[in-house]
Amino acid sequence: MPASNFHVEFSGVGVRIGMATILRDVELTVAPGESLGLFGANGAGKTTLLRVVATLLKPSGGSARVLGVNLDSPDRFDVRPRLGLIGHSPALYPELSLLANLEFAARVSGVSLAAAAEALRAVGMEQAADRPAGEASFGMQRRVEFAREIMLQPDLLLLDEPHSALDPSAIELVEHIVAGVLQRSGAVVLVSHDVDRVAPMVTRTAELRGGTIQ
């Protein structure tokens, strides 16, 4: 099979959780340098689709390739370091300081601690570096998660409702990060229910309705 030209290549993908059909017959491709905005009402399956792309949820049917790797193969573990995901609830450890959270990700990924501090500065959070994540606001935690993606430079960045809890300057920051990923020939998939707000950072849009892409 020739190497895939797409960062995301889904064909006939379905997801069932228990008895419920969440997604069916999803056809989706995202090319390098492309930023896809995925829209849909509450419960349309946007987050589920994003988790499948992130290799965290196996599709129950269809063929799915991410960064050239079939999600059915054990190789899907190997593409994980090349993926970045910012989900809609924060993934930081509440007991650790904001900087310590970044440093943990740096150590696991083999990135220098200086890069962690630098990324925290880049998102304007160096003043709060020693604050425990549990005592930081949702918006501050989101900024730190963006700092993690600046530090790790993923080839495929997945964003779930990137606007929630962010002030205008942080939204500019997200736009900047998205532009950076695209410049490196990476790709972005972002999920939102607000078409207008994400318009500046997407190159293409798709709507999820009835469990499939319309």
Partner 1 sequence: MNSGFWRQAMAVARRDLERERHAGEVVWVTIPFGAIALLLVPLAVGINQDVLSRIGTGMLFVVVMLFGVLTSIRRTNIETPPQRDAIALLGIDPVAEFAGKTAASAVVLLVFEVVMAAVAVALYGIDISGWWWMIIVLPLTAIGLAELGTISGAIAASVQAGPALVPLLVTPLAIPLLLGATQTVENIDPDGGNLSWLVLMAIVVLVLAIVGVLTARPLQETR
Partner 2 sequence: MTARGRLAWLDITAVIAVVGALVFAMVSPRVESQGDSARMLFIHVPTIWLAYLAFAVTFVASIAFLVTRKLKWDLVAGSSAEIGVVFTTVAIIGGMIWGKATWNVYWTWDARLTLTAVMLFVYIGYLALRRAIPDPVARARRSSVLGILGLVQLIPVHFSVTWWRTLHQTNTFRPRDIQMDGPILAALLVSVAAFTLVYAALLRRRYQLAEMELEAHRAAAAAEGPVAGDAVSAPTIGST
CB-based contact 38:26 (threshold 8 Å): no
Cβ at position 208, least distance to partner 2 in Å: 8
* Residue 14 lies near partner 1 (rule: CB under 8 A): no
* Residue 42 lies near partner 2 (rule: CB under 8 A): yes
Residues 185-204 that bind partner 2 (CB under 8 A): none
> Which sign, positive or negative, has the C-alpha torsion 51, 53, 59, 61?
positive
Using CB under 8 A, which of 45, 59, 154, 186 touches partner 2?
Answer: 45
Q: Which positions ≥6 away from 116 have C-beta within 8 Å?
A: 99, 102, 103, 105, 106, 147, 151
* Residue 72 lies near partner 2 (rule: CB under 8 A): no
Using CB under 8 A, which of 12, 16, 165, 180 touches partner 2?
Answer: 16
Round to whole Å and give the CA distance between 79 and 56.
11
* Residue 66 lies near partner 1 (rule: CB under 8 A): no
* Residue 129 lies near partner 1 (rule: CB under 8 A): no
Residues that bind partner 2 (CB under 8 A): 16-22, 24, 40-45, 60, 208-211
